[in-house]
Amino acid sequence: MLIKLAWRNIWRNRRRSLIVLTSVVVGLVAIVISDGLSNGMIGQMLFNQINLNISHIQIHKKGFNNNKTVKNFISDYKKVDEVLKDDSSIKSYSKRVFITGILSSANNSSGVNIYGIDPEQEAKVSIIKNSMIEGSYLTKNKRDIIIGKKLAEKLEVEVGDKVVAMANTLKGNIGSEVFRVVGIFKTASSEFDKTAIYIPAGTEQNMLNIGDKYYEYAIITKDYGKVDETQKYLEAKLGNSFEVLSYKDLLPMLIYQIELYKETMWILNVIIGLALIFGIINSMLMSVFERIREFGVLMSIGMKNSRIYLMIVTEAFIIGIVGTIVGIVVGLLLEIPLAHTGIDLSFFSSGLEAFGIGTVIYPVLSIGNIIMSSIFMPFVAILGALYPAYKAIKLEPIYAIYYV
């Protein structure tokens, strides 16, 4: 009966209750949408970085990641091949020759990261093949090169134009090769498009005079959630002369950014919650002041203060629960279609591409966050009712009964 009374009390001033309810719903929709967008952005940032060039795990010669010189190649790459072939948790891997150098056209030149790859292997670990917007992906032709759109614009080259790549060789000379641009790619990261170029691995090995050696193994595991396990297994198998790094080691800033995003979401939730608390306090106080005489009657018939307190808190809790249910339903109805179509933020494209996100954000629903919000809002509503309920039970029965 107490719940029935609380429910009816809510609806005695329909307009006021609807306003409070709407504020809870809007708050919750804002949380669900912003949370989905945030998850989507974080997911896309990570997905893009992993699938562009980072992969889940990379193997180098010990010390290569901090000192990417031509001398730091993997001597015993056959051992790595054997270990990787025996590991059932690995889906695919690509061997890369990697060095920094300069790419020049007839018009300009630019510092670049030169990736020497086996086109077929690389297509299994990165999305570069699917990111081609002009021309074609690398073939077996040893003079082929693919470059990013931003770099093509800087060098003022098109598909079919010639470019020259230069880098330090193992002997300390400057090695160079002439290439013909066969394709131009565009990824979600403008920074990557400005600096990455791909050529056949054999050509780069010749240019650097390193024989058949490689610098980097890029590995994709079957289960993204078990990367740490695979990393530990490979470290144990390969020994101390190799460094086995997961994407978390390779992208420390991004991982920090993701953590920061999560913290920011909590701060946003708290801000929304605080705004709602004051709305609920105001509404519940008005409701209490309108019913002073009624509280007097309830006290006179023997209702204890604890029950009056509970009744007022229950009213706010019901508003919180109803608002949460409606808010989550509305939030999901808005978010589910957006999760498929995405939200086109091309207006901010330069900023987003600099972060490696892409211009279309696909919100991602997080069941955990929805559950947290489902607890958060009723909790906020209860907090908002504590002071008004305290005011109600502080009334003296005689004052309340004859209150006009």
**By the criterion CB under 8 A, which residues form the site for other proteins?**
1-2, 4-5, 8-9, 12, 293-294, 296-305, 307, 397-398, 401
**Least distance in angstroms from the C-beta of 9 to other proteins:** 6
Residue 215: name the closest of 321, 330, 58 by CA: 58
The single residue listed with the structure tokens 């240019």 is: 207
Give the residue among 353, 318, 401 at the shortest CA–CA distance from 150: 353
Question: Across the strands, what pairs with 76?
Answer: none
Question: How far, in Å, CA of 318 to CA of 322, rounded?
Answer: 6
Query: What's the min distance (Å) between Cβ of 312 and other proteins?
Result: 14
267-284 b/e (C-beta count within 10 Å ≥ 16 → b)? eebeebbeebbebbbebb
Strands 216-221 and 57-61: antiparallel
Which helix (H) or strand (E) covers residue 373, if one does?
Answer: helix 367-393
Nearer to other proteins, 4 or 171 (CB): 4
What is the gyration radius of the CA atoms in the chain, in angstroms? 31
Please report how close the Cβ of residue 342 comes to other proteins at its closest, in angstroms.
48
Residue (156 or 290) nearer to other proteins, CB:
290
Taking the least distance from each CB to other proteins, the nearer of 103 and 298 is 298
CA 372 to chain centre: 19
Residue placing its CB nearer to other proteins in the complex, 264 or 300: 300
Residue 96 tokens, joined: 């890369």
Concatenating the DSSP letter of every residue in 130-158 gives GGEEEE----S-TTEEEEEHHHHHHHT--
Residue 267 beta carbon to other proteins: minimum distance, rounded to whole angstroms: 40
Q: How far is the CB of 272 from other proteins (least distance, A)?
A: 31
Residue 4 C-beta: closest distance to other proteins, Å: 8
Residues 335-371 as b/e (b if ≥16 CB within 10 A, e otherwise) read beebbeebbebeeebeebbebbbbbbbbbbbbeebbe
Q: How far is the CB of 282 from other proteins (least distance, A)?
A: 21
CB of 32 or CB of 395, closer to other proteins: 395
In the bound state with other proteins, the residue whose beta carbon lies nearer, of 8 and 226, is 8
Q: Which is nearer to other proteins, 65 or 305 (CB)?
A: 305
* Nearer of residues 283 and 324 to other proteins, judged by Cβ: 283
The continuous run of DSSP H or E covering 125 comes out as none
Cβ distance to other proteins smaller for residue 220 or 308: 308
Residue closer to other proteins, measured from CB, 55 or 287: 287
Q: Exposure of 305 by Cβ count < 10 A (0-12 exposed, 13-18 middle, 19+ buried)?
A: middle
Residues 6+ apart with CB under 8 A from 385: 280, 281, 284, 312, 313, 315, 316, 317
Pick from 9, 21, 6: nearest CA to 280: 21
- Report the nearest approach of other proteins to the CB of residue 396 (Å): 8
From residue 91, alpha-carbon distances to 57, 95, 223, 381, 383 in Å are: 11, 14, 9, 49, 51
Task: Kindly state the smallest distance separating residue 300's Cβ from other proteins, in Å.
Answer: 5
For 36-66, give the DSSP string.
HHHHHHHHHHHHHHIIIII-SEEEEETTGGG
Shortest distance, position 385 Cβ to other proteins, whole Å: 18
